[in-house]
Structures are given as C-alpha cells and as structure tokens.
Structure 1
Amino acid sequence: MQNNYVVATIKPWNIKEFQSLKGRLSGKWHLITSKEELSVERLEQLNPRYVFFPHWSWIVPSEILERWECVCFHMADVPYGRGGSPLQNLIVHGHKKTKLSALRMVNELDAGPVYRKVPMSLEGSASDIFHRMAPLTFQLIGDIAKNEPSPQEQEGDVVVFKRRTPKQSLLPKSGDASSLYDHIRMLDAETYPKAFLEWGKVRLTFDEARLDVDNGQLTARVKFESNE
C-alpha cells in the first residue's frame, strides 16, 4: 500500500509545523523547500500518494499535476477569492473571517475541486494569521492522507483576486485609523513587503500595529531605511 507523502512549502511557519508533526503522521513524509527540488525525477524516487503544497510561490508543471495527486491550500471560500494575495485582498474587501480550502490542483489557478473547507479568523497581523493557519493546514493534510476523500467541484460565482505588487504596500494618502491599521497588519509577516512611506531619501516601514477601537488611536513601530 502506497504510504509516501510529500509536503512542498517555502514558508517558515509551515516548515516548523511540519517538523513538529511529522513523527506523529502515519506513513513516510518528505519535505521539499525549493523550486529545484520539485522535479519529476525526485517525485519518481519518492512515489508519493499525495503532494501537498501549503504555501508555494511557483506554478507547478502540468507533468507533475497530471502524474500525482497534488493538493494546495487557499485562504478563501472558493470559487470566491481565487488568485493571488488572498489574505491581503480579503482584508481590503473588509472580511473578518474566511475559509481555508483544500483543493485538488489543476492547470487553472485555484479552480480545482475541493476536498474540505475549514473556517478561520482574519484577526491580527499577517504573521498571526499565517501561524494560525499552519496547524489548520496540517489538520487538513492529515485528514486527506488518512481518509483519501474525493474532492467535489466548486459551486458558485467565480471571483478572482489579482496578486498584489510591492508598490501597493505604500500607505494610502487617505483613510481612517482602522483602514491604516488593516493596511499595516495585512503586510506584517516574514518575507512580505511591509507597509511603507517614502520621505526624501528615507523609506519608513511600519509593523506591529495596534488599534485602540474606543478612541480610534493607531500605534505602530516605524523603521527608517535608506532608499538610495
């Protein structure tokens, strides 16, 4: 019986979660953390039942999608919110909660059938949210590996998000304390371009935002960096 599994991820919170859980997961588990490692040759050696992609930044080749059952995890209640930067786009659109969807990967981005969805909160910084998402993701991974459910086609109207660019991290010129808080917190995670302002030859970056809802006061840490 085939019991090899691959987890392909590049984010530290997922790597940490994998390392803490792999001894408790049934079967043989293998971790891939770079684009170069994810090759047909490598997967042929491992012969996995599933290849799980908790957070991957590259298009997976069609040859891999067609030969192995590949599962991605998308922070939106698909078909609403397909596409890039789901966390930031959900917060920009005013959402306070969402669903983490486990999808069979197909050549069209985030369009595959759904194994399962679980609710999750969008409160706190991006780092808070990603660290909250990691154990939920591996709960789904464990469930899929154990039960091998048949994914069901998505239902509803398709809404596609555009991937945000680093330039969009610039703080907006207008808005209240709540909207500025959301802008700072949604970018506050490792490997993400933080909220910033340009001030002459200096770039000011913002993180660790706190909002006092009662009096509408916003506080944040500011770092000065040369932009020359």
Structure 2
Amino acid sequence: MKIVFMGSPDFAVPTLEKLIDSHHDVVGVFSQPPRPAGRGMKEQKTPVHRVAEAYDIPVFTPKRINDSAFAELQALAPDLIVVAAYGLILRKRVLDLAPCLNIHPSALPRWRGAAPLNWTILAGDKNTEICIMHMEEALDTGPVYKRIPLELEDNETAGTLHNKAAQIGAEGILDVVNNWAEFEGTAETQSENGVTYASKIEKDDRLTDFTKPADDVLNHIRGLSPFPCATGKMDGVNYKFLMAEHAHGNAEGSMGAGSIIAANPAEGLVVACGKGAVRLSRLQKQGKAAMDDMTFLRGNNLPEGAAFENK
C-alpha cells in the first residue's frame, strides 16, 4: 500500500522505520517545520524529517495543512495515512482523503490529549495501554482498532514509558497496516465513561508540592522526568528534580513538608513530605549540570532544616 506518514519527534521514529522496512511504499512524510534549537539557536529538522531524508523520502513541512499543503498530500494518493505525534490538527478533508491511523499511548478514553505519558504516571496509574485508533476531528475520540496492555514498573518515568510506548506502538500500528483487510471496519467505539484529559504540562504544574504524601511526590517527579522536569525553589535558587525514591528509615518527624531531613553521604538528600519522605537522588541546581545527590552534596551546602518552597 501507498502510505503517507505524519510525525515529528523521537516518539514517531520507530514507526517510520518499521514502515520503511516493510513491503509498503512510504510515498511521503509530513513533519513539523525546522525550528531554532540548541545553544546556537540554529534551525533543526525534526527527528522524523532526518530519518525520511536519509531514505530519500519526500518530506513536507507545512506550518499548517492549508490548501497548498493539502494539494501536495492529495497528489501522493495514499491508501493510508499513519500518524504518530505529528503536532498539527488534521481537518475533515485530510481525514476523508484516506483512513488515518494514529498511535495514542494511553488506555482511551483515559488521558485523551497532549501529554498522556506524563499524566499516566502523575496520576499513579499502574497499568496503561497503547491504542491504535482511527482518527476523527474531535480530540482522541476515534474508535480503536487495537489495544496493547502495558504494566508500569515501580520506578517508571515519563522517559522510560515514552521509549516503551514508541516501540510497542510502532509494532502495533504495523500489525494493523499489514493486516488492513482484516482490521478495516473493526474499530471499537470508545466508552463514554472514564474520560479524562491529559492537558499540556504548564510551568505551575512542574512545581513540587512536598505537602503531599511521599507516593504523590514520587509520581510527580517521575511523571515529569526527564522532561519537562519537576521543579523546586529554595532561598531564591531554582532546582530541577530528575529522580527520586522512598527514603527508607526516615519520616517527616517534627520538620515541615519540604524540609531537608538529611544531607549526607550515608543517606543522601532526604526531604520531608506531608506523609513520609523522599530521597532526591538526581537533581540539577540552576545554572549547573545535573548530578546524583551524593555528587551534589560534595559541592553544595544544604543544611538540615532548610526547606524547599511548596505550592
């Protein structure tokens, strides 16, 4: 079959690579336009763009699917359009041109929206799914062809879940494409019950609230790691928290939430929560490189009793 692929970030790369390696013909790739990035703010092509170019596949980078972009898409005459984290809204005329299949990394209808991987962990979910769905105009409401269950590890982060979901989603959507004659027309309508939305992570969402129980604080830090990162502030200095774990043998005691209980080589950097305590095992001070807490403590003096701000 002739396939047009639409995707942009690293998440979409495994799907494109599997389609390229298949017997199908990837006739074109649509991706976000190059944008300034990095220290030099030079224009950078998306990961998908770079892969497509390496295989001499035509790449189209419209800022939106306007009349000229739609004409280019139409000229490719795809049998299927496969979408993975493209980042642009697809209007009805695109959806009507050919069946549009999408990878959504959540157990739909739970966590429709922009940041399902983050919110799955932020909410403390223990299980999720990777859904191969038929796209509609409404946000992530389309019927689902295939659901692939995924159990989260105890120390799962948004980063590790991202990598698993990208690979599982690539394999799942290739199965649907390879067996389209059997899957076409079989997608199941999503339930109207249990709908939740995974909104874009905003700056205020990143601030760590240590007044919450330790389990919630851990979910917060892991759910935002490695990007966009949970944050904290002490004495006007900003910190990013990249990894954390339960602080065994410590409790909040008489110290308030956010207070440092321990800051030493034996215990690491331990902070009191509303219930229990966490060890901030990897963090980054404003203007400095990220490092583990033991290395951090050798060069930074955070005395016991000092406290991170709470929401």
Give the TM-score of the pair, scaled to structure 2: 0.63
The CA deviation string for residues 20-49 of structure 1, in whole angstroms up to 9 with x for no partner, is 434421211243321634631332232222
Map of 1:61-210 to 2, 5 A cutoff?
Answer: 61-123=91-153, 124-148=156-180, 149=183, 150=185, 151-163=187-199, 164-189=201-226, 192-207=227-242, 209-210=243-244
Distance 1:55 1:48, change over 3 A: same
User: 2:282 pairs with 221, 224, 228, which one?
Assistant: 221
Distance 1:217 1:170, change over 3 A: closer
Q: Return the structure number with greater relative CO, CA threshold 8 A, min gap 6.
A: 1
| Contact 1:7-1:53 at 8 Å conserved across structures | yes
The one-letter code sitting in structure 2 at the alignment partner of 1:121 is E
CA distance in 2, matches of 1:66, 1:22: 22
The one-letter code sitting in structure 1 at the alignment partner of 2:128 is T
The CA deviation string for residues 46-66 of structure 1, in whole angstroms up to 9 with x for no partner, is 222222222233322222112
- Decide which moves more: 159-168 or 209-218: 209-218
Which structure has the bigger radius of gyration?
2
| Contact 2:18-2:174 at 8 Å conserved across structures | no
Residue 60 of structure 1 pairs with residue 90 of structure 2: yes
RMSD of aligned C-alpha atoms? 2.4
Map of 1:12-91 to 2, 5 A cutoff?
Answer: 12-15=10-13, 17-18=14-15, 20-29=17-26, 30-34=28-32, 36-37=61-62, 39-91=69-121
1:158: how far off?
4.5
Task: Determine the structure 1 residue equivalent to 2:53.
Answer: none
| Contact 1:181-1:218 at 8 Å conserved across structures | no
The one-letter code sitting in structure 1 at the alignment partner of 2:115 is S
**Which sections of structure 2, spanning at least 5 residues, go unmatched?**
34-60, 250-276, 288-311
| Contact 2:4-2:81 at 8 Å conserved across structures | yes
| Contact 2:241-2:280 at 8 Å conserved across structures | no
CA distance in 2, matches of 1:222, 1:143: 40
- Decide which moves more: 31-40 or 167-176: 31-40
**Which sections of structure 1, spanning at least 5 residues, go unmatched?**
none
The CA deviation string for residues 128-181 of structure 1, in whole angstroms up to 9 with x for no partner, is 111111111111221121111122222351413140323201111312333222
CA distance in 1, matches of 2:285, 2:20: 43
Distance 1:87 1:206, change over 3 A: same
